[in-house]
């Protein structure tokens, strides 16, 4: 594949081309996004674990009695367990609000709204073809995808819809705003929203950490990059955008070098000397 030719759609690769692309890396995530992702993951593990131990009533419980007893012993009592859950939840809300306010243009607007949850026509086709493929009703190739495929976008859309509900209901439950009836409804909404996100997270974690084809996506949340072959095979539209940026940058750089060399050429030659007068010029 020529470095100057960017295909409009995926084309078969030779073994040498595939190996060369496997060795090259494309940046997928900034350091801030990687850190936020793992902060969010650690917070959710602890919040769900402690929250499950706190849901106990004569009529309903999420975790078995031994689980609740274990966590109460670890934290030195139910009151301390609740205090930890609330403190971590408030910290989680604070970090996300700060990141959202100061990173709106660089993260929320560009990364989330445009890349993570914005569905286009290819995404809708991807969902249809993928579903039919899983059911054994179609063998069509999946449409090209951006930096996130349609399944990841649907999960992201669900998460970004549920997170504000979880935050708001958590605050209502913590501070008792504005009435006991509101708190009662907040409990129901809080557990429902958390349950929906956890259900999606189970699929997300399986696809990212276990499913072989998505292993590069998992490790991109550690290294911040993926190999070019994975990007070409799974996120062709994004790969094409990145290659177009690289090509435009290389052309601008070459043009700048050519202009600098052209400007320096007369200076290198030096000023032309006037011819010495001949014997008959006196």
Tell me the pLDDT of the chain averaged across its residues.
87
Is 132 in contact with 111 (CB distance < 8 Å)? no
Q: Are residues 163 and 239 in the same domain?
A: no
Residues 6+ apart with CB under 8 A from 157: 117, 119
What is the pLDDT averaged over residues 178-197?
94
Question: Of 179, 207, 226, which residue sits at a domain end?
Answer: 226
* CB hemisphere CA count around 97 (13 angstroms): 9
Rg (CA), the chain: 29
Q: Are residues 221 and 237 in the same domain?
A: no
pLDDT at 89 over 60: yes
8 belongs to a structural domain = no
Q: What is the pLDDT of residue 225?
A: 95
5 belongs to a structural domain = no
Is 165 in contact with 189 (CB distance < 8 Å)? yes
Q: What is the pLDDT of residue 205?
A: 84
Show the domain range for 239: 228-261
pLDDT digits (tens, 9 = 90+) for 36-45: 899 999 999 9
Q: Are residues 151 and 56 in the same domain?
A: yes
Is 89 in contact with 44 (CB distance < 8 Å)? no
Q: Are residues 111 and 177 in the same domain?
A: yes
Q: Are residues 203 and 235 in the same domain?
A: no
Q: What is the pLDDT of residue 266?
A: 65
pLDDT at 74 over 90: yes
Q: Are residues 176 and 244 in the same domain?
A: no
Q: Are residues 218 and 244 in the same domain?
A: no
Which residues face 25 on adjacent strands? 227
Find, among 57, 107, 50, the residue nearest to 82 by Cα: 50
Q: Are residues 98 and 86 in the same domain?
A: yes
What is the pLDDT averaged over residues 271-281?
52
CATH number (domain holding residue 94): 1.20.950.20
CA–CA separation, 191 and 196 (whole Å): 9
30 belongs to a structural domain = yes
171 belongs to a structural domain = yes
The total of structural domains in the chain comes to: 2
216 belongs to a structural domain = yes
126 belongs to a structural domain = no
pLDDT band at 280 (very low <50, low <70, confident <90, very high): very low
Q: Are residues 165 and 254 in the same domain?
A: no
pLDDT band at 27 (very low <50, low <70, confident <90, very high): very high
Q: Are residues 152 and 256 in the same domain?
A: no
Q: Which residue has the higher pLDDT, 10 or 3?
A: 10
7 belongs to a structural domain = no
SS3 call for 137: coil
275 belongs to a structural domain = no
Q: Are residues 112 and 77 in the same domain?
A: yes
């Amino acid at each position: 594949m020529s470095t100057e030719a960017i295909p409009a759609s995926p084309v078969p690769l030779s073994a040498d081309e595939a190996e060369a692309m496997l060795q090259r890396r494309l940046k997928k995530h900034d350091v801030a996004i990687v850190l936020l992702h793992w902060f969010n993951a650690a917070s959710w593990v602890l919040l769900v674990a402690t929250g499950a131990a706190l849901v106990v009533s004569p009529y309903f419980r999420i975790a078995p009695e031994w689980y609740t007893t274990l966590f109460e012993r670890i934290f030195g009592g139910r009151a301390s367990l609740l205090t930890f859950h609330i403190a971590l939840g408030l910290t989680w809300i604070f970090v996300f609000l700060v990141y959202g306010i100061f990173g709106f243009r660089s993260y929320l607007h560009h990364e989330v709204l445009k890349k993570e949850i914005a569905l286009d026509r290819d995404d809708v086709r991807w969902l249809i073809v993928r579903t039919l493929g899983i059911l054994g009703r179609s063998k069509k190739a999946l449409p090209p995808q951006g930096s996130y495929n349609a399944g990841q976008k649907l999960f992201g859309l669900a998460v970004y819809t549920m997170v504000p509900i979880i935050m708001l209901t958590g605050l209502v439950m913590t501070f008792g705003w504005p009435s006991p009836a509101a708190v009662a409804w907040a409990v129901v909404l809080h557990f429902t929203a958390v349950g929906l996100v956890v259900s999606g997270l189970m699929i997300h974690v399986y696809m990212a950490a276990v499913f072989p084809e998505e292993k590069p996506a998992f490790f991109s949340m550690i290294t911040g990059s993926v190999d070019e072959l994975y990007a070409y095979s799974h996120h062709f539209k994004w790969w094409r955008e990145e290659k177009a940026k690289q090509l435009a940058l290389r052309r601008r750089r070459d043009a700048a070098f050519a202009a600098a060399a052209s400007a320096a050429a007369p200076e290198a030659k030096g000023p032309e000397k006037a011819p010495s007068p001949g014997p008959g010029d006196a």
